[in-house]
């Protein structure tokens, strides 16, 4: 009786995890390799060292691991003579999972060895399946985030175009109508050769209301899209800071390179302007600051925006637990351009915001 028949007899009628053990037989390393190539769901291999050659079994181990790329299958090496292949050296050199001499593989020992190998194989496959599922979920999450950022980018572009359109309509139409009304009011005054206190009082009130409406309209136009943006980021930042100081009384310092050194496209300049605008809005609402420093720099292929205030600061851990749409919006705007946003703060120590954008990516952005 050869080893194949003896093994089949020893395992006849036995089950592992309520399933019968199925044996596939190969009488050479090459035949075993072909068998394993056709059947990729084999759980364990009982492998003789000596087949076509004295080292055929060991060479097959390497082919299984390296050529087939199968690191889940459990390989139990069997040798006819103890010491023929040094056990410790073999385990070190080859990716095998157990090493037995044929004499010690009684029916019980053989069943115990295979049971452990099959359970181990199942657990490895389950882990691999779970890992694959996690990787697929991760890829799907990345795709979803990419689509979300593309949608955010599209939304911001549409919003900016709508702001430009509304600002232009207010400036071109409403502004003209208000100017015409003011001229008509002045003409009415000229139609009364003799002073009429009541009429002049009402005309004066009308003129004041028209002037106030003109000022409000100009402010709305500037808030929607300041004309300074057409002159570049530096000019827009200077206008924004001047308006911010006059409204809040908070002093601001601004450091920028010369306008020509930035050379930013209109969309990026608008994005950075909106980030700065949102940052200053947060300062005025929450920081209780006296002074704000703003720096825009360009060096080593990076564009950086830093906003630092001397206000009350906050606990970053507490803020992370809240939904802060302003900070989320800043991060999303930056991520669209492949950049990063970092915020440092502590209670009583002010707040610091860093925006970093890679210029190489900016040049490639549509």
Residue 297 CA to residue 5 CA, distance in Å, equals: 80
Query: Please, are residues 121 and 72 in contact by the beta-carbon 8 Å criterion?
Result: yes
- pLDDT (mean) for 254-262: 79
Structure tokens at 256: 């920028």
User: Would you give the DSSP letter of residue 38?
Assistant: H
Is this model's pTM higher than 0.75 or not?
A: no
Residue 280 CA to residue 272 CA, distance in Å, equals: 12
Handedness of CA 265, 267, 268, 273 (dihedral sign): positive
Query: Please, are residues 349 and 310 in contact by the beta-carbon 8 Å criterion?
Result: no
Q: What is the pLDDT of residue 24?
A: 93
Query: Please, are residues 302 and 358 in contact by the beta-carbon 8 Å criterion?
Result: yes
Residue 22 CA to residue 15 CA, distance in Å, equals: 9
Instruction: Name which of 233, 238, 231 is nearest 303 in CA terms.
Output: 233
pLDDT digits (tens, 9 = 90+) for 139-185: 898 888 878 877 877 787 788 788 878 878 887 888 888 888 888 88
Please list, in sequence order, all residues whose beta carbon lies within 8 angstroms of the beta carbon of residue 7, skipping any fewer than 6 positions away.
Answer: 23, 46, 110
Answer whether residue 70 shows pLDDT above 70: yes
Domain 3-105: give its CATH code.
Answer: 3.40.50.2300
Q: What angle do CA 137, 361, 342 make, to 5 degrees?
A: 70
Q: Which 3 state secondary structure label does DSSP give 328? A: helix
The per-residue pLDDT of the chain, averaged, comes to 85
Give phi and psi for 270, each to the nearest 5: -65, -40
Alpha-helix runs per DSSP H in 170-228: 175-190, 197-224
The string of DSSP codes covering 51-118 is SSSTTHHHHHHHIIIIIS---SSEEEEEESSTTSS-HHHHHHHS--SEEEEGGG--HHHHHHHHHHHH
Residue 358 CA to residue 319 CA, distance in Å, equals: 27
- pLDDT (mean) for 215-231: 83
Q: What is the pLDDT of residue 360?
A: 57
Find the Cα–Cα–Cα–Cα dihedral 301, 303, 309, 315, rounded to 10°. -70
Q: Please tell us whether the domain made up of 228-366 is placed in CATH 3.40.50.1370.
A: no
Delimit the domains of the chain by residue range: 3-105, 228-366
Answer whether residue 361 shows pLDDT above 70: no
């Amino acid at each position: 009786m050869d080893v194949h028949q003896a093994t089949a007899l020893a395992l006849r009628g036995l089950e592992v995890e309520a399933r019968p053990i199925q044996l596939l037989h190969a009488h050479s390393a090459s035949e075993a390799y072909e068998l394993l190539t056709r059947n990729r769901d084999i759980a364990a291999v009982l492998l003789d060292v000596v087949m076509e050659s004295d080292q055929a079994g060991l060479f097959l181990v390497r082919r299984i691991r390296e050529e087939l790329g199968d690191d889940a299958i459990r390989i139990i090496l069997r040798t006819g003579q103890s010491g023929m292949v040094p056990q410790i050296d073999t385990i070190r050199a080859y990716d095998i999972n157990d090493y037995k001499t044929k004499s010690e593989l009684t029916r019980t020992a053989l069943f115990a060895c295979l049971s452990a190998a099959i359970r181990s194989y199942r657990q490895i496959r389950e882990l691999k399946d779970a890992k694959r599922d996690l990787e697929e979920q991760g890829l799907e999450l990345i795709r979803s985030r990419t689509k979300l950022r593309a949608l955010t980018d599209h939304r911001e572009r549409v919003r900016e175009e709508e702001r430009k359109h509304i600002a232009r309509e207010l400036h071109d139409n409403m502004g003209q109508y208000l100017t015409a009304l003011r001229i008509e009011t002045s003409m009415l005054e000229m139609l009364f050769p003799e002073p009429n206190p009541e009429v002049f009082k009402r005309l004066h009130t009308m003129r004041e209301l028209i002037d106030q409406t003109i000022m409000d309209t100009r402010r709305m136009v500037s808030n929607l899209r300041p004309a300074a943006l057409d002159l570049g980021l530096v000019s827009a930042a200077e206008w924004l800071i001047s308006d911010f100081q006059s409204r809040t009384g908070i002093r601001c310092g601004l450091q920028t390179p010369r306008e020509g050194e930035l050379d930013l496209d209109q969309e990026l300049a608008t994005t950075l302007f909106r980030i700065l605008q949102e940052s200053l809005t947060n300062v005025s609402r929450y920081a209780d600051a006296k002074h704000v420093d703003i720096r825009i720099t360009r060096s080593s292929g990076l564009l950086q925006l830093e906003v630092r205030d001397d206000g009350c600061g906050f606990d970053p851990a507490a803020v992370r637990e809240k939904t802060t749409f302003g900070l989320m919006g800043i991060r999303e705007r930056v991520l669209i351009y492949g950049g990063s946003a970092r915020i440092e703060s502590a209670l009583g120590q002010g707040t610091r915001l860093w925006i970093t954008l890679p210029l190489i990516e900016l040049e490639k952005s549509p």
